[in-house]
Amino acid sequence: MSDSAKASGLPLDLVRHWGLSDIVLIADTRTSLVYRAGHNGKSVIVKALKPEGIGERSGFEFLRWRNGKGAVRIIEQSGDIVLLEDAGTLLLRDYHGQAGDKEATKIVVDVLARLHIPSASPLPPGLIPLHVHFRELFSLDTMQLALDLRDILVWCTDIARELLAHQDDIKPLHGDLHHDNIIGHQQGGWRSIDPHGLIGDPAYDCANIFGNPLNAARLVLDQQRAIDLSRCFATALKCSPQKILRYAAAHAGLSCAWILGRPLTPSGHTNLEERLGFARLARFILLEQFVD
């Protein structure tokens, strides 16, 4: 048994069974540990959920159901530890910095289309309905917030309730598609990683793109960019631009609720201001009917 296997913290019997070598920890998040390793002469990813990450089990179900279409494929699974294809090392966020927003958006549209290709397989169990996914926004005590926050978050909540009451074409969703969850390989091709594993209206699957990439407030709060994205995704998903933008605004409100539900860090405060700013921008665009 190699020193890397012993140092990884992964169960040694599982390391032997999967034939892993050269194990390197590449991410330690609140919910999981992620490793890159060798497996049958190829590079693979091992993701091990922490107790705080049990909510990501539905994401594993989604990946198994997609079976490589638009997302990384699960090779093996043992409880809350999965062996995944290695999608590569080029984040769409980094490519975005090189090629620009329009080229990156073309990739998002392509990945989104592959994620929504119908499957003959039965719907996976354990997917999270959108009304459950939005529970922290719906339960947010807005009366405890400053008046300006209360105003926009009540609006986001009302938008979310109305959207979820009138969903169309309900299907499995990635649920967390953004520039850090789409990865490319030197040999070409882009795939998504780390899905939430939701089920609901497909218009929600592009909502997170409006608030990304991270640390790009000028882009996120650009009115023309929001309008262009709404029209682009509306064409791809065959719905109205207003619907796309309303889902993006609802998601911005949900993101605010998540942030407000935890101790506020400096980065969290910055993220909160961006999400609030985008929600206000979306409301302005919708009220002024700049999308049709």
Same domain, 95 and 81: no
Instruction: Give phi and psi for 49, each to the nearest 5.
Output: -75, 140
Q: 119: burial class by Cβ within 10 Å (0-12, 13-18, 19+)?
A: middle
CATH of the domain at 134: 3.90.1200.10
Which of 56, 85, 114 lies at the terminal end of a domain, its last residue? Answer: 85
Residue 75: predicted pLDDT: 97
CATH of the domain at 8: 3.30.200.20
Total structural domains within the chain: 2
Both tokens of 119, joined, read: 């499957």
- Residue from 192, 188, 190 nearest 178 by CA: 192
Q: 138: burial class by Cβ within 10 Å (0-12, 13-18, 19+)?
A: middle
Give the pTM: 0.94
Same domain, 98 and 32: no
Same domain, 253 and 136: yes
Residue 238: predicted pLDDT: 96
- Mean pLDDT for all residues in the chain: 93
Whether 176 is catalytic is: yes
Cβ atoms < 10 Å from Cβ of 186:
8
Same domain, 252 and 182: yes
**Residue 30 maps to a domain:** yes
Which residue range is the domain that position 12 belongs to? 3-85
Which of 85, 117, 149 lies at the terminal end of a domain, its last residue? Answer: 85
pLDDT, averaged in runs of 10, over the chain (292 residues): 65 94 93 95 95 93 96 96 94 94 96 95 94 96 87 97 97 97 81 97 98 92 98 97 98 96 88 96 95 81
Residue 292: predicted pLDDT: 79
Same domain, 213 and 117: yes
Same domain, 110 and 69: no
Same domain, 132 and 271: yes
Same domain, 20 and 104: no
Same domain, 158 and 257: yes
Same domain, 43 and 99: no
Residue 7: predicted pLDDT: 56
Same domain, 62 and 191: no
- Among the listed residues 169, 176, 222, 228, the single catalytic one is 176
**Residue 292 maps to a domain:** no
Residue 6: predicted pLDDT: 58
Question: First-to-last CA distance in the chain?
Answer: 62
Same domain, 152 and 233: yes
Which of 50, 85, 120 lies at the terminal end of a domain, its last residue? Answer: 85
Residue 143: predicted pLDDT: 84
